[in-house]
Amino acid sequence: MAAAGGLRGHSVCSVTCPGDNGAVDIVTRGFVGRRQGRDPRIPPGQYLERDFPVLSAGPTPRVRQEDWRLDVSTPDGEVTTLGWSDLMALPVQDLTTDIHCVTKWSKLDTTWRAVSVDAVLEAVGAAETDAAFVLVHAEGGYTTNLPLADLRDGRGWVAVGYDGAPLTPEHGGPVRLLVPHLYLWKSAKWLSGLELRREDHPGFWEQLGYHAYGDPWREQRYVGD
Amino acid sequence: MTTVWSSPPEPMPWFRAAVEDAWLETRTARTVVLDVPGWPGHDAGQHVDVRLTADDGYTATRTYSVASAPEAGRLVLTVQLVGEGEVSPWLVGEARAGDELEVRGPIGGWFRWTESMPEPVLLVAGGSGVVPLMAMVRQKVRSGAATPFHLVYSARTPDHVFYTNELFALARTTPGLRVDRLFSRAGLPDDERAPGRLRPEDLPAADATPVPPRVYVCGPSGFVEAAAGILLAKGHDSGAIRTERFGPSS
């Protein structure tokens, strides 16, 4: 990302100015930065975080395990509902993965227990579908959209555990989506529905200026990135 | 691929910004006034990305809430120092008039208030979570909106309060603005409330105003959890409560 073209030429930096070769046209006096040894697993513009910050748009929904439901709907409007025991009857796997939040922190080697979205789609008989997109629904009205392909082939997970324990409500428990290769807002907490669609439809943050796809390696943070 | 966009949207541009003024709010937080030619303005509650560039081209970017009421060409941030951070130490410890950096935004269309919103407003701030809520207070004052505002602001001690003088003055001169300041660790000798974390009696019930208020809660995660829990118990609708937690903005 370069600075807006129209602002070039106003540079007032004086001593060593990389802007002279056109690469950078602004220098923040006195800024050095921390430059932690750059782990190649951290995408551009992200920094390493050891805590697990919580971000959400409203109060944390409290969903009891026994009340949890997942509605999977097809483009033709057929809805199949899974409950907790249905989900637990599917293969639950342990996985270790890196996660990246659009607010710029990344966390490496996080460990989860999860069922693959592949297994969920298989279980509800929706593995063969002409849908190309999913609008993900969550308790409290949150939605997020992504291409169905990004949830398949082991890339999307329905997570029930984090770091050796059941998922806490703050982190989306009892059940959240986990799509580690996209910014974390795509990994909807308090998962309640997968709406398979032929056409894309922007979700909550996607209607509020965030990127429709959200690839951290391409820094797709906001609309137009 | 079908998309909702008829044409590819333009990326949000980076704006060159110059520090116009800067002062400490507390020992570890600084208000930084930025002159940003071309900045289109924002809505109260929104945030911006701030990018610093070292002389060899190394950059670091973090997101900060805007403290000022919307204004073209000018932005005020108040930044809390995060010890292990990268951008906040420069903003809090180093920034001075004339320094240059870049900003991009405004970002966030949810945690946002404009004077066209008719409901009463309840603001619940924990620590530096007061910053985006202060932007809303300032916008109410500047717009002259009659909207009733109630700010409940919890800080650790009197040494940790931002905007002390301004809030004191505004609360006494602005019709419809009430400010309650609470201390969690240690207060002032004449405080009626014993210091401590947020309690149910610190927040009004949903029926304290003729129409239930639009509620904005901002602070550290534990504070937001506690506040949201109390608000729900006091009859506020979950859909009326907007929360913003500190992502770390180090």
Domains identified in chain B and CATH numbers: 15-107 (2.40.30.10), 121-245 (3.40.50.80)
Residues of A in contact with B228 (CB under 8 A): 58-60
What DSSP assignment string belongs to chain A? Answer: -PPPGGGTT-----SS-GGGGTS-----TT---------TTSPTT-EE-SS-----SSSPP---GGG-EEEEE-TT--EEEEEHHHHHTSPPEEEEEEEE-TTSEEEEEEEEEEEEHHHHHHHTT-SS----EEEEEETTS-EEEEEGGGGTTTT-EEEEEETTEEPPGGGTTT-EEE-TTS-GGGS-SSEEEEEEESS----TGGGGTB-SS--GGGT--BTT-
pLDDT for res B6: 54
pLDDT average, residue stretch B49-67? 95
Q: Is the ipTM of this complex over 0.85?
A: yes
Q: What's the pLDDT tens digit per position in B133-177?
A: 999 999 999 999 999 999 999 999 999 999 999 999 999 999 999
**pLDDT confidence of residue B248:** 46
For residue A225, give how far its alpha carbon lies from the nearest alpha carbon of chain B (Å).
Answer: 5
Report pLDDT for B9. Answer: 74
Sign of CA dihedral B218, B222, B225, B228: negative
User: Among B54, B229, B242, whose Cβ lies nearest the Cβ of A33?
Assistant: B54
Direct distance between the N- and C-terminal alpha carbons of chain A, in angstroms, rounded to an integer: 8
Contact of B237 with chain A, judged by CB distance below 8 Å, is answered with no
- Look at A4 and B102; give whichever has higher pLDDT: B102
Taking residues B79-87, report their average pLDDT: 90
Shortest Cα distance from A116 to chain B (angstroms)? 24
Instruction: Kindly tell me if the per-residue pLDDT of B8 is higher than 90.
Output: no
Whether the predicted pLDDT of B114 surpasses 90 = yes
From the number of C-beta atoms within 10 Å of its C-beta (0-12, 13-18, 19+), residue B165 rates as exposed
B109 contacts A209? CB cut-off 8 A: yes
Task: Please judge whether A31 and B94 are an interchain contact, meaning their C-beta atoms are less than 8 angstroms apart.
Answer: yes
Q: How far apart are the first and last CA of chain B?
A: 38
**pLDDT score of B99 more than 60:** yes
A18 to chain B nearest CA, in Å? 6
Superfamily in which the A40-218 domain is placed by CATH: Oxidoreductase, molybdopterin-binding domain (3.90.420.10)
pLDDT in the model for residue A6: 31
B34 or B6, which is more confident: B34
pLDDT digits (tens, 9 = 90+) for B208-223: 999 999 999 999 999 9
For chain B, the average pLDDT equals 94
The yes-or-no verdict on residue B60 having pLDDT over 60 is yes
Please check whether residue B234 touches A, CB under 8 A: no
Angstroms from A17 CA to nearest CA on chain B? 6
- All residue ranges of chain A with pLDDT < 70 are 1-24
Residue B2 confidence (pLDDT)? 44
Domain boundaries, chain A: 40-218
> How far apart (Å, rounded) are the C-alpha atoms in residues B151 and B122?
6
Locate the chain B residue with the closest alpha carbon to A8. B16
Mean pLDDT across the stretch B188-208? Answer: 97
B218 close to A (CB below 8 A): no
pLDDT of residue A16: 32
| Chain A touched by B247 (CB under 8 Å) | yes
Distance from CA of B33 to the nearest CA of A (A): 15
Task: Please judge whether A59 and B14 are an interchain contact, meaning their C-beta atoms are less than 8 angstroms apart.
Answer: no
- Answer whether A47 sits within 8 Å of B58, measured CB to CB: no
B4 CB neighbours in chain A (<8 A) are: 200-202, 212
